[in-house]
Structure 1
């Protein structure tokens, strides 16, 4: 099984005719199964744009899905923070476009159960299941269950979490005083009367303040924990897939980080461990648009972020008025004008960081089923370094190719360093186009 990160194609022909790009095509198409996270609404702009206060609308024509299929990708997650950029109508149109091309898609649906359920792909040698979810999404973008009187809401499979800021007793007392003396507490009197309880009382633990949750501790810090209801809802389908397929892949989209952008949030690591323990053969993370480390838990790999496999955000052809309003201009802007203004002519943002334009494609090989349980077991991971054209003009970068040997060695060395904190040791081997990483699992 070949695994890719975020696929954000907006123009097409993402695999060029160079030998290294075609080597990547061969890698993806020769695998029994190939996966990517589809982070663009490619449904011919059906629907209506939903306001994104930070990013920009990522939508394009449906034809880019043909490139996805032609590159060998047959399993995609559509659980991410861009899945509803064109509203529920756009999300449902995207699902129709994917399925009409025979692509298995998980992580989004017309209601919660459909969004949670696995997608299956069958091959002569065996089968694979994909369960997908996202921790990063806007309010109301999570799919909702069907009720007794009303239908459910289309959306993504959510992995909610709680974030608590730990502060000293003195700091917490200051926050409570600010809450009282600024009049915020008085403004809530009507709400407290209606709900019949006071979540902001002196005994509240954690204490809610300006959208955050605060708790007294010996020293300041940040703690995150996974939502138990979402965890149970996702693991139900992991266990189901374990009984109905040879391989089980769990995809999770998360922009949230730990103490640094290179580390996953604590809740994400706990979720990944729980998914493996419930029967997943691998957990594939993506979201921060850069590589994070690899952990092996109970003999199975967790990729905390595979970065970008295709990144053509800046070639988006249509944007809503609300996006244009985010950058100062005395005249109407074109799409290029918007992205150029936002990046200050490529002097800030993604264009300046090499880490956003390189990744690895892991290929996980599973050994034949053991006689005892009939279950395939991942036996080795090969890590193929990939570059996306850092430093090239906007219209040429973002398309992946197998890395040249010098770049490949550097990417693998950096990934080895990121993984060392989990006790993961990568071996260096020689592949058809240069060095590759190797991670034995048994």
Structure 2
């Protein structure tokens, strides 16, 4: 454990040397599902986020994808293979570790609109902001606005994996659905509304596929062309590599962060993403590997090589806890046109 702390500390210092003191450290975590194994651990008085608490505490702002309703109401949808619902007590472990949660995923509506609305209410009570979902269509597409260290950042959340019945309507609660034209319009609107930086957080791709699809690659580039400073994704339950396009990072899938029930080894590995942001965009970024045990609880992997980069790189590098260990090494086939 001491070695992990030393490596992570060195990583933060190494990253700090690449960016100005005014940079904002923004963290993204992948799928956080607090039912089943993680829910039982919490009910037994154990903290599923304990191993990552020091890393989370050092960031200026922390965002995760809440892959379950947090409620006691509602009924599971009859046509879904897996339906999750976590007890509201789980938010005691999230509060103070995460500042905001994306609701834009294919499990937020597992217990219907009643469970979805109750989830938003519990998040509000806990002081945890949410985005990518709301009480109506306009609210679901409203950015998460982060104003820290002289920066105004808009984070947008979208889901494009069935069921589409979770989508918000004009007066119906639900999530933001990923329609290309709407996503690009929202990015441009956020820039017009005064965002220094816009970051879409996508729930996309095919489950258990280790590489992004052609559709993901195409949309990621279109989002950057529309003004996104970076693109971050999740949903496949495995990591999917990273690319740099026009100098801006694309991290296709962060994989799982807190999630049980997977026998596939790749589904028990995720990334925590750290973006160092300034007014010009992403000054540096790195990932820390999360190894997930049988209960679905993550721990940092001290020696794992994971993608990273800094402004000016044409290809992603490899780092250990944020410390570069290799020369430029592509994680996927990039396009810099």
CA distance in 1, matches of 2:57, 2:231: 21
Please state if 1:51 is matched with 2:78.
yes
Q: CA deviation at 1:107?
A: 1.1
Runs of 4+ more than 4 Å apart:
434-440
User: Residue 157 of structure 2: SS of its match in structure 1?
Assistant: strand
Report the equivalent of 1:424: 315
CA distance in 1, matches of 2:265, 2:146: 35
Q: CA deviation at 1:87?
A: 0.3
CA distance in 2, matches of 1:3, 1:437: 24
Please state if 1:377 is matched with 2:281.
yes
Report the equivalent of 2:63: 35
Q: CA deviation at 1:270?
A: 1.8
CA distance in 2, matches of 1:358, 1:70: 24
Report the equivalent of 2:157: 132
CA contact (8 A) 2:134 2:168 kept: yes
CA contact (8 A) 1:428 1:437 kept: yes
Deviation readout 1:213-249 (Å, 9 max, x if unpaired): xxxxxxxxxxxxxxxxx22222222122224333322
Alignment of 1:393-408 (within 5 A): 394=294, 397-405=295-303, 408=304
Report the equivalent of 1:357: 268
Deviation readout 1:7-62 (Å, 9 max, x if unpaired): 1122232123xxxx1xx22222211121111101112x212211244x31110111
Report the equivalent of 1:178: none
Change (3 A) 1:254 1:85: same
User: Residue 143 of structure 1: SS of its match in structure 2?
Assistant: coil
Alignment of 1:152-163 (within 5 A): 152-159=171-178
CA contact (8 A) 1:238 1:275 kept: yes
Report the equivalent of 2:48: 14
Report the equivalent of 1:236: 185
Report the equivalent of 2:117: 92
Higher normalized contact order (CA 8 Å, seq sep 6+, divided by chain length): 2
CA distance in 1, matches of 2:167, 2:202: 14
Report the equivalent of 1:278: 226
CA distance in 2, matches of 1:293, 1:247: 23
Change (3 A) 1:438 1:77: farther
CA distance in 2, matches of 1:158, 1:9: 23
Change (3 A) 1:437 1:56: farther
CA distance in 2, matches of 1:251, 1:430: 22
2:93 to 67, 80, 86: 67
CA contact (8 A) 1:383 1:438 kept: no
Q: CA deviation at 1:110?
A: 2.1
Change (3 A) 1:130 1:306: same
Change (3 A) 1:231 1:89: same
Q: CA deviation at 1:294?
A: 0.5
Change (3 A) 1:268 1:425: closer
Please state if 1:249 is matched with 2:208.
no
Please state if 1:303 is matched with 2:258.
no
Please state if 1:263 is matched with 2:263.
no
Number of matched residues? 289
Please state if 1:388 is matched with 2:337.
no
Report the equivalent of 1:291: 239
Change (3 A) 1:232 1:362: same
Q: CA deviation at 1:296?
A: 1.1
CA distance in 1, matches of 2:256, 2:328: 21
CA contact (8 A) 2:302 2:321 kept: no
CA distance in 1, matches of 2:133, 2:181: 17
Change (3 A) 1:69 1:125: farther
Name the Cα RMSD after superposition: 2.5
User: Residue 288 of structure 1: SS of its match in structure 2?
Assistant: coil
CA contact (8 A) 1:387 1:402 kept: yes
Deviation readout 1:101-137 (Å, 9 max, x if unpaired): 2222111122222111112133344333221111102
TM score, norm. by length of structure 2: 0.78
Q: CA deviation at 1:307?
A: 0.3
